[in-house]
Structure 1
Amino acid sequence: MTLFQRGATYERISKADDGDEDGVLRQGEDTQGLAKQRGIPIEGRRFRDNDRSATHGKHRPDYERLMAAVQRGEVDVIIVYMLGRLWRNRRERAEGMEILRTHGVSVLCVKGPELDLTTAAGRLLAGLLGEVDTFEVEQMSEREQREMRQRVERGQVPTGPRCYGYTATGTEVIDREAAEVRKMYEALAAGASLSGIAAELNARGVLNRNGQAWSHNTVRSLLLNERYASLREYHGAIYSGKWPAIVSEDQWRQAVAILTDASRKTSPGPARKWLGSGLYLCGVCDDGETTVTSAQRGSKKIKGRQYEGARTYKCRGPVKHLMRIAEPIDLLVAGTEPGKPLGLVLRLLMREDAAQLLLDGERPDMEELNAKAARLRARLKNMTDAFAEDDEADALEFRRAVRRVKERLSEIEQQMTSPARAAALGDLVRSDDVVAAWDALTLDRRRAVIDMLMTVTILQGRPGRAPFNPESVRIVPKT
């Protein structure tokens, strides 16, 4: 007759494909068979964790319920396929053995000995067997880590879920998705917010790799992923990959610098709906910090039809001492309506010297670079004039000399250009139709351009229904 009257079985498998329970079912058949063979009553005390690793102490719900049953005195023996199914790390094994010792519980293994943990010999044997299990796990982990490091060093494609922009194998680019990835990096560099990028993608019906809408977090994760620059991070080091890059390393590093900037607002928040919300400053507070928010004034529903009142900008501080109609202010700043004057932003971008807007005014050597560029332009003019006057000049030699000077001038101009300004303003400055290019920008991009070019402060307007006075908006260009 068996000495055990309150048996329990426990089965666990570390890795299982979705919906695959064959592994734990086989263990269950074997543990139940041993219980029947020994005449140990189970009476529903069966515990099972499928696809749960014990190596790193991850949460195992049924194991915790089993230990709770032991502590309530409901179990006097645990039947497992092998001891390694119960514990696979030292901390958990030590804690579990102490609980079983305290409550006089033994362990029976289908593949292994009977362990009486109330005795020193039983605990010694359990500890030795457990150390063997731990050794096997750690040795396997070392092999896997070495294999992983070798894959990284060889530049092999990472395994795992498909990366948006790449095929399932990760070795080929999906052109349509890759184009969207490039647009995201360009939009971030040009000043767009993550929420704004996600909203623009969703508005166009572009879905992520899972066929779902984009969110602030999915866009952020994508932009921080070094894989798009054909790089791979392993233990803090960056390695080059052998799969095709979608963006350059410089673009990826720029995105990381933007997104990890401590001064950047990290709360997702709602995407902006109006041009000046959170951008224009309150001229009553006039502290250089308090911005305005926007709202619809007088919105109401009549006979089931919604009527929207005028949109307004108002101080977002604790005292709402400023409220102005938004439309004439936005037209003054960036208007493109036919028959009305262009906004100041458009006029700046259409000036003949608009390329100067791309220069990095904070470079300490800007004066020196300007002087070099001026000398190169003068040399080009002198070369052209000399060639025009010399009937015997060698045309091939002239073209070669001009190309060398132009290449040097291009290098100087590139050094003078601010990457952030080029990202935000470059396509506008170079456009043949600035108005059309501006109208094609997303709201986030327009806001970024305004923020880069000027500071807009809304002052108090005239009382009553007085006409809009442009002088009630203070616009100061940023150098």
Structure 2
Amino acid sequence: MSPATTARPRVAIYARQSEDVDQGIVQQLDDCRAEAARRSWRVVAEFRDNDTGASKARGPKTDWYKMLGEFDAGTFDLLLVTETSRLTRSLTDVLDVCPPRRDVRVVVIREGIDTDVDDFMLKQLVLLAEREVKIKAARAARYAAERRKEGHPGAGKTPHGYRWVSAPDRGPANTRYVVDETEASDVRKIFTEFLVGASLGQIARDLNGAGSSTRKGARWRSDNVRRILMNPFYAALLPPAQPSGKHSLAQIDLGACTPGAWEAIVEVEQLIAARGRLVGVKPNHNGTARRWLLSGLATCSVCSEPVRSARGETHPTARRDGTGTAPSQRYHTYRCVNGHFMRNGDVIDDYVAALCVARLSEADAAALLVPETNGADISALHNRREALRASRKNVFSLIDDDPARLADAEDRLNDLEDQLRTLDEEITRVTSRSPFADLVGVEDVRAWWESATLARRRAVVDFLMSVSICPIGKGRRLAGWEQVKETVQVKPKV
């Protein structure tokens, strides 16, 4: 026996589990502490790896890595664990604690192992565990392939807008996702607002302003909105598997997606149009989020620069009865960046809103809202896209049968990719050409306007008219819309 066996050893405890549940770690630590107390061993360090797999590499951020460093520094002599599987399921890790690399004395409580006496059983159990891991991985891969053929997603984080259905509650179709209508309304709003021109930041601001939040209860941010717009799951498309740790929504090829066995929240055309505006574009998580109707849209009549929103403040004079001044108040204004004016914005917003509602209420509004598509039929475009995807799939099938045909098929594949890319651009163009189709047939346009998001109202203004604000002189107040009309120039676009 080594001196460490006869002397009172300095003990380090190691606890690990794959799931993020504190209870399992606590139980392992308690059992090891009790064993150390029973043997009158002194515990000098404890290491815990929660939510850490035993068959995968454990890097510098794990307590396993820290534990090896502490042993090298001479902090402890003996490593105490409850079971071999808590230590590792990989022979590579065992070699990290065994000679010649290191000579760590490992004691396993439940299996009665002490490597200072014999390390054969420890290595044998780890080899068996490693073999079981490989068998399970092969079984899981086969199950995943079969599941994918049926259009079912794997277990994991369920997208916002859906609810995961556990196995006992699945119907005959074995569907894993069902639509959560409360969350799905957020998803539909995100796609609708984005396709009428709202920025990511503006959509996030509007969602937060409406009292909506992410599933975790957090405020919406532009990166949350971007991920939803990029995700094929919302059009009931199952993307191909990506390498572990390298998941990227931007790298997903929609042509390689397969139909999912769940209900879509948005149309495929909406997904294509949204991704067409985002893929290949550097994310701008600080996208401009407007708070007022005309900021950045209206221009100054003098210099033609876009106006900005600002906050004005009243400066009341003293009351005639000598009781002092009225409280100062802050109000919304528009200002020229070159200093030509700073005007009360509320009355201008109300005036422009009234013009928009009046124009949308006219008899020819429907024709304006849904322009001619020049013969482009979205369903026909979609059918054409499916035919191109089928052709590409057939080419890949030929290559699988005879890899020598790859060179001959390369030109054909490139041609199909070009056609698909052109078709997706056409779908994006046609989809974006009718951004206000949901307004057609609305009887109470004023009610629609009041319930619309700021992004949607701004899109309507930009679609219908150009607005130019004139200086009115310092201290002048406008009493009504007739006076506003004289100082706000509106030119119809349609």
Instruction: Give the alignment partner of residue 451 of structure 1, picking from 462, 465, 481.
Output: 462
Q: Which AA in structure 2 matches 1:292?
A: V
Q: Residue 324 of structure 1: SS of its match in structure 2?
A: strand
Cα deviation for residue 447 of structure 1 reads 0.5
Shift of the alpha carbon at 1:11?
A: 3.1
The alpha-carbon deviation at position 154 of structure 1 amounts to: 1.4
Q: TM-score, normalised by structure 2?
A: 0.63
CA drift of 1:437 comes to: 3.2
CA contact (8 A) 1:195 1:215 kept: no
Query: Is it true that 1:215 corresponds to 2:220 in the alignment?
Result: yes
The answer to whether the 8 Å contact 1:455/1:475 transfers is yes
Unaligned runs of 5+ in 1: 337-342, 370-413
Q: 1:228 aligns with which of 231, 234, 244?
A: 234
| DSSP-derived class of the 1:51 partner | coil
Percentage identity across paired residues of the two chains: 29
Residues 299 and 219 of structure 1, relative CA distance in 2, 3 Å threshold: farther
SS in 1 for 2:266: coil
What is the match of residue 294 of structure 2? 276
Measure the CA separation in 1 of the matches of 2:315 and 2:473. 26
**Does the alignment pair 1:438 with 2:449?**
yes
193, 204, 223: which is aligned to 1:187?
193
Give 1:42 deviation, angstroms. 3.2
Query: 1:422 aligned to 2:434?
Result: yes
Aligned to 2:309: 294
| CA distance in structure 1 between the aligned counterparts of 2:348 and 2:282, rounded to whole angstroms | 29
CA distance 1:478–1:141, shift in 2 (3 Å): farther
Q: Give distance in 2, aligned partners of 1:228 and 1:91.
A: 42
Q: Distance in 2 between matches of 1:311 and 1:448?
A: 20
Counterpart in 2 of 1:43? 43
Q: Does the C-alpha gap of structure 1 residues 437 and 71 become closer, same or farther in structure 2, counting only changes over 3 Å?
A: same
Take 1:132 and 1:171, find their aligned partners in 2: how far apart are those partners?
37
Corresponding position of 1:249: 268
Shift of 1:294: 1.3
Distance 1:307 1:298 in 2: 7
TM-score (norm 1): 0.65
- Name the residue aligned to 2:76: 75
Q: Please, what is the CA RMSD of the aligned residues?
A: 4.7
Partner Cα distance (2:485, 2:336) in 1: 19
Counterpart in the other structure of 1:405:
none
Distance in structure 1 (CA, Å) of the matches to 2:295 and 2:280: 22
Q: Return the index of the structure with the highest Cα Rg.
A: 1
Question: In 1, Cα distance between the equivalents of 2:367 and 2:429?
Answer: 9
Aligned length: 405
* Partner Cα separation in structure 2 for residue 30 and residue 436 of structure 1: 67
CA 1:40–1:153 in structure 2 vs 1: closer, same or farther (change >3 Å)? farther
Q: CA deviation at 1:87?
A: 4.9
The one-letter amino acid of 2:152's match is Q
Q: 1:478 to 1:232 in 2, by over 3 A?
A: same
Query: Which amino acid in structure 2 is aligned with residue 77 of structure 1?
Result: L
**Which residue among 305, 308, 323 is the counterpart of 2:329?**
308
Q: 2:15 touches 2:28 (CA, 8 Å); kept in 1? A: no
| Cα separation, 2, equivalents of 1:234 and 1:112 | 46
Counterpart in the other structure of 1:398: none
The residue number in structure 2 matching 1:406 is none
Q: 1:258 to 1:277 in 2, by over 3 A?
A: same
Listed as ranges, the gaps of 5+ residues in structure 2 are: 166-175, 242-251, 319-323, 377-425
- Whether the 8 Å contact between 1:359 and 1:418 is mirrored in structure 2 is no
Measure how far apart 1:305 and its partner are: 8.1
Correspondences of 1:137-152 after superposition (within 5 Å): 137-152=133-148
Give deviations 1:113-145, integer Å, cap 9, x for gaps: 7658xxxx99x9999987776555455334323
Q: Is the 8 A contact 1:11 1:48 kept in 2?
A: yes
* TM-fit CA distance, 1:444: 1.6
Give the structure 2 partner of residue 29 of structure 1. Answer: 31
1:209-247, Cα deviation, whole Å (9 max, x unpaired) = 45x365235554444443332222232442222222233
Q: Per the alignment, in what secondary structure is the counterpart of residue 15 of structure 2?
A: strand
- Letter of the 1:43 counterpart: V
| Matched-pair contact (CA < 8 Å) for 2:370–2:437 | no
**Residue 149 (structure 2) pairs with residue 153 (structure 1):** yes
Alpha-carbon deviation of 1:275? 0.7
Q: Is contact 2:59–2:65 with CA below 8 Å preserved after alignment?
A: no
3-state SS of paired residue (1:185): helix
Deviation at 1:267, TM superposition (A): 1.8
- Residues 270, 431 of structure 2: 8 Å contact kept: no
